[in-house]
Amino acid sequence: MTKPVISGEIQVAELIEAYPDALKILLEFNLPCIVCGEPVWGNLGELCQDHNLSPLDTEKLMHRLQSLSN
């Protein structure tokens, strides 16, 4: 099974399902990805915007997450 490409467009639930280690990275950036046991709805880019992650931190986050697919 081919894993999805990690980008700002990936759905948060899809990201966590395909890359379970992404959960830890998202939490390091103070991005809640699970609320009350349910995955956050929306895509990764929206999550970053909704939590006012700076463009620089968003770039760092994407780099860390993309390293999971290597």
Going 18 to 6 to 47 to 42, the CA torsion angle's sign is negative
- Stated pTM of the model: 0.85
**Gap between the Cα atoms of 22 and 16, Å rounded:** 6
| Token couple for 1 | 């099974």
Q: What would the pLDDT profile of 39-53 be if each residue is shown by its tens digit?
A: 677 899 999 999 999
Q: Which residue did the predictor score with more confidence, 4 or 39?
A: 4
